[in-house]
Chains A and B, each alone.
Chain A
Amino acid sequence: MAAQGRHGGRKSNKMTALVVDDNIVNRAIHLRLLDNLSIENEAVGNGKEAVDIHCSGKTFDLILMDMDMPIMNGIEATRKLREMGIRSMIAGVSTRSMEQDVREFIEAGLDDYQEKPLTMSKLISIIHKINGNG
């Protein structure tokens, strides 16, 4: 992996990812998917926590952002992170399939969108985009 990814991220040979999802089952699965690809990872439970972790100075190569979350949803969090200048790859991951809902999420600043449940092949396609292969 590049030391400084195309979408930001700290100087490290290992890719980093943040899982943003209020559902404990999905968090466990997404973290395991990332572990299996040797991607360093953390998880938070809503959009506000995602913003706060960036305010603390952390950055990630990849953010897997759920849409429907309490306190701050994925659309608001994505907008906020982009306003803060966060250039990380943000992939929306949601069960929503209606075009209008997905469009609003994408327009908030996503680089990619995948419908849940997230699978290994979907995650790999997201990562290929970070590496400029997708």
Chain B
Amino acid sequence: MERNPLRRQLQIMRKSLFDQGYLDEQFVQLEELQDDSNPNFVEEVVTLYYRDSARLILNLEQALERKPYNFNKLDAYMHQFKGSSSSIGAKKVKAESTLFREYCKSGNGEGCMRCFQQLKKEYATLRKKLEAYFQLARQAGPMETACRPK
């Protein structure tokens, strides 16, 4: 058990991100790529994700303002967004992306719109949680190794 209180708090926060379904195994894969030579790799990749995906969110918003919907275009944007989300282990965001693509394939515009609103909520929630997590991680100092949630 971690004795350092900040690290203990960090472990608890990390575990809850997995237990509540915000993150999946892919996040652990990213942690395993982090080492002394690249100690902030995970935070850097997540930062890259939020920067890049903001562009895709904007594209989707603009595409959803145009009627009739171009479902092929919407699907193409979401394919990219889903890919990035999957790469950082953003489990709930990825699930909403999958649902959105299904609505695109069935030509369900209302479904797309509803799903997109939910996706943005999940995306924003994850961002806040990860920002808090990385802020605490910086205070706590480097943890020893990535570990899979029990």
Distance of A90 Cα from B52 Cα, bound (Å): 27
- Does A23 touch B at the CB level, under 8 Å? yes
Q: At the interface, yes or no: A2 with Cβ under 8 Å from chain B?
A: no
In the complex, the answer to whether B87 meets A68 with C-beta atoms within 8 Å is: no
Q: Secondary structure of the A side of the interface?
A: helix
Task: Give the residues in chain A near B41, CB-CB below 8 Å.
Answer: 32
The segment from B42-50, B63-71, B113-121 that touches chain A is: B42-50
Render B3-28 as a binary contact track against A, CB cut-off 8 A, 1 for contact: 00000000000000000000000100
State whether A120 and B84 are in contact (beta carbons under 8 Å apart), knowing that A24-B52, A25-B52 are contacts in the complex.
Answer: no
A55 at the interface (CB under 8 A from B): no
Q: Which residues of B contact A29 (CB under 8 A)?
A: 30, 33, 45, 87
Report if B61 contacts A (CB, 8 A): no
Q: Count residues on chain A whose CB falls below 8 Å from chain B CBs.
A: 16
Of the candidates B29, B32, B35, B87, the one whose C-beta lies within 8 Å of that of A25 is B87
A116 CA / B84 CA spacing, docked (Å): 10
Q: Contacts A25-B88, A28-B45, A32-B41; is A95 near B29 (CB within 8 Å)? A: no
Q: Which residue of A lies closest to B45 (CB)?
A: A28
**A35 CA to B41 CA, complexed, in Å:** 12
Which residues of A1-39 are within 8 A (CB) of B? 23-26, 28-29, 32-33, 35-36
**A119 within 8 A of partner (CB):** yes
Interchain CB contact under 8 A, B84 and A25? yes
User: Which A residues form the contact surface with B (CB < 8 A)?
Assistant: 23-26, 28-29, 32-33, 35-36, 68, 95, 116-117, 119-120
